A = this chain, B = another copy of it.
Amino acid sequence: MIAMDLLTVKVGDEMPLLERRVTQSQIDAYANASGDHNPIHVDPDFARSVGLPGTIAHGLLEMAILAEAVARWAGGYARVQGLACRFSKPLQPGDTLLCTGRVVDVDAMNQLIHLKLEAISGRGDRVLTNGRASVRLSVDNPGQPGL
């Protein structure tokens, strides 16, 4: 289950690319789950009326995909201690989101790995930038939830 090797992880290591296609039905489901029913996410006519090319995904849905990429590499959400990103460009339904990450620090003292992350769309837009995650090398306490 653990994609990274805890004993050999080093600065410069790259996470496997995670690619997910986001559909309008997933955006609709996310709107229901989050309670964020802003019509820019669910109503194409409204989205176009405010200058968007159509509906766009919720930023937190994009961030959830980025979190999944980290969790898969780290060996589970419980290892993901922290997450950050900037919401830079919209993602439209039908687009893919490609998540990448690279180890920038291994903090043996605090048992933490720090990564830089980015997510780009299939059309090359930098959707999530300035991404960062901290990953626990060990998970002693199952009460630590991670994500």
Mark each residue of chain A from 42 to 62: 1 if its CB lies under 8 Å from any CB of chain B, else 0: 000000001110001011110
- Of residues 19 to 73 in A, which have CB atoms within 8 Å of B's CB atoms? 26, 29-30, 32-36, 38, 50-52, 56, 58-61, 63-64, 67-68
- Of residues 73 to 129 in A, which have CB atoms within 8 Å of B's CB atoms? 77, 80-87, 89-91
Whole-angstrom CA separation of A85 from B134 in the bound complex: 10
Q: How far is the CB of A49 from chain B (nearest CB, A)?
A: 10
Q: Does A16 contact B (CB under 8 A)?
A: no
Q: How far is the CB of A22 from chain B (nearest CB, A)?
A: 11
Task: Say how many copies of this protein the assembly contains.
Answer: 2
Q: Does A12 contact B (CB under 8 A)?
A: no
Q: Is the CB of A143 within 8 A of B52?
A: yes
| A residues neighboring B (CB under 8 Å) | 26, 29-30, 32-36, 38, 50-52, 56, 58-61, 63-64, 67-68, 77, 80-87, 89-91, 130, 132, 134, 142-147
